[in-house]
Amino acid sequence: MWVDIRGRAVRSWSPVDGDLGARLLPDEVSLSLPCTDGRRVVAQVDRLAMDDGKSLDALCEIDADNGHTRLNDGVCDDRGRLWVGTYSTRGEPESALYVVTEDGEARAVVSGLVASNGVGWAPDGSVIYVTDTGRSRIDRFTPTALGEGLDIDGTLMTAREGEGRPDGLVVDAEGNVWTAMWGGACVRCYAPGGTLLTEIPVPVTYPTSLCLGGADLATLFITTSRHHLADGADEPLAGAVLAVEPDVAGLPVQRFAV
C-alpha cells in the first residue's frame, strides 16, 4: 500500500493476482500505516485518523493552529507508537517530529525542522534516523534513558548541491539506511556510520519514498512523483511505483498499537 497525496488516496496492489485498489479520503493523505487491530492510521493535513476502509475515526490534531505546516511521513516503533513529522509550506524551521500514542497524545520530540520526511529505526531500536528534506540531511538520534525523548547523535548524510535531497527512507535488516533522493533521480544506501554504500539510478527525477517488501522482504519498492515536472517532460514512469532487487532484506513493518 502507498499514498497518493494529490490524489487524496491510499492505493494498493497485490503481487499475487495483480489487483489494484484505492481508498479515497476527504483530504490529501501523507501517511497510511497498519494497526494491530486491522485498521490503518492515516495522516491528512493536520490530523490523524483511524481508517477501517469505510469510515474515519479521529485520533488527534497536530499543529492545527499553524496554517503553514502539514503532516508528512512517519513510522511506528516496537512499542507501537507512531513517529510522524510535519513540513513547512513556506520553507521555515517551524516543523517538528512528533511521537503519538494509542490514545492520541502527541508530543514534539524534535523541533526546528523545515521538512520532516523519512523516519526509520535501527533494527535494535537504538537509533532513529530523521530526514529534514528542507536542509538536505538525515540526522541520527538516540532515545533518552526513559525512551520518551531523543538526543541528537550526529548526521548520517548531507546532500550536496545538484545531488537531490533525501526524502523517504527505510532501514534494512543489516541496519543500513536507504533513502530516495528527491530531484536526484536515484536511491542511495548508507551504512550507519554515514558511508555511502550503494547508489541506484531510477528513470524519474523525483523518487519520493521506498520500502523493502515482497514475500521475503527483499524487493525494494520505490514511489515516485510527477508533480514538479516541467510541462512536456519525457518521464513516462514519473508517478509510478518501481521495483528493484537490491540483494538485501528488510524488516517487518511495525504496527500502530491500538
Any catalytic annotation for residue 167? Answer: yes
Answer whether 176's CB lies under 8 Å from 106's CB. no
Question: What phi-psi label fits residue 57: left (phi over 0), alpha (psi between -120 and 50 degrees) or beta?
Answer: beta
Could you tell me which residues are beta bridge partners of residue 15? none
Q: Please pick, among 46, 51, 167, 172, the residue that the annotation labels catalytic.
A: 167
Q: Which of 255, 180, 192, 252 is nearest to 222 (CA)?
A: 180
What is the rounded CA–CA span in Å between residue 237 and residue 88?
Answer: 28
Length of the chain (residues): 258
DSSP state of 139: E
DSSP state of 169: E
Residue with cell 490534531: 61
Please state, in angstroms and as integers, the Cα–Cα distance from residue 152 to each residue in 14, 64, 158, 189, following that order.
Answer: 39, 26, 15, 21
Which residues form the catalytic set?
A: 167
